[in-house]
Amino acid sequence: MARHRKKPRRLVADGRVYLWTLRHGHRAPYGGRPTECRQILTLYPQPAGTGGPLRIVFAAGPGRYVPGGFPMGSGDVGYVRGGSLNLHEPGAVRALLDAVSAQGRRPGERGAVEIDGWPLLEAATATTAEDAGSPDS
């Protein structure tokens, strides 16, 4: 049976449980027409009430791509000349969570936290590349 695309997925990292979702959105500058594509990965610490959501946002920009339809796949983000991730893959989500933790941020702090995902991308792609080359994969 196929997974419902809007149902949160479960991730366990370092003994902590998270539910996570991915959505595509647009920013409307100055209240005008929505133009800027954004991928928003949101992690919710579990059990509920143990911390606020962590939003990792990838906004389109020069030298970057964020899916807006064909020919790119849903969930793809990356640099035109560099690393990329598919945010539907649990390994990519875990790598981003690890990159956030490596910066000293604590997912689960009270209140929602939104961070720019682009500075995390290189570390996360290096982690997923290492995992792909390991004999356990």
Give the model confidence (pLDDT) of 113-132 as tens digits. Answer: 899 999 999 889 987 766 65
- pLDDT value at 2 more than 60: no
Work out the pLDDT band at 4, boundaries 50, 70, 90. low
Which position has the higher pLDDT, 68 or 42? 42
Backbone angles phi, psi at 102, to 5 degrees: -65, -25
pLDDT for 69 equals 61
Instruction: Find out whether the peptide bond into 107 is cis, omega within 30 degrees of 0.
Output: no
For 77, the enclosing helix (H) or strand (E) is strand 76-79
Residue keyed to tokens 């290096």: 126
Among the listed residues 81, 88, 85, 100, the one whose alpha carbon sits nearest the alpha carbon of residue 131: 85
Alpha carbons 56 and 117: distance in angstroms, whole number: 5
The highest-confidence range among 8-17, 23-32, 124-133, by mean pLDDT, is: 8-17
Q: Counting Cβ atoms within 10 Å, is residue 129 exposed (0-12), middle (13-18) or buried (19+)?
A: exposed
pTM, entire model: 0.83
Q: What is the mean pLDDT of the chain?
A: 83
Instruction: Find out whether the peptide bond into 90 is cis, omega within 30 degrees of 0.
Output: no
**Poorest-pLDDT segment among 21-30, 100-109, 125-134:** 125-134
The predicted model gives 59-84 an average pLDDT of 83
The predicted model gives 39-55 an average pLDDT of 90
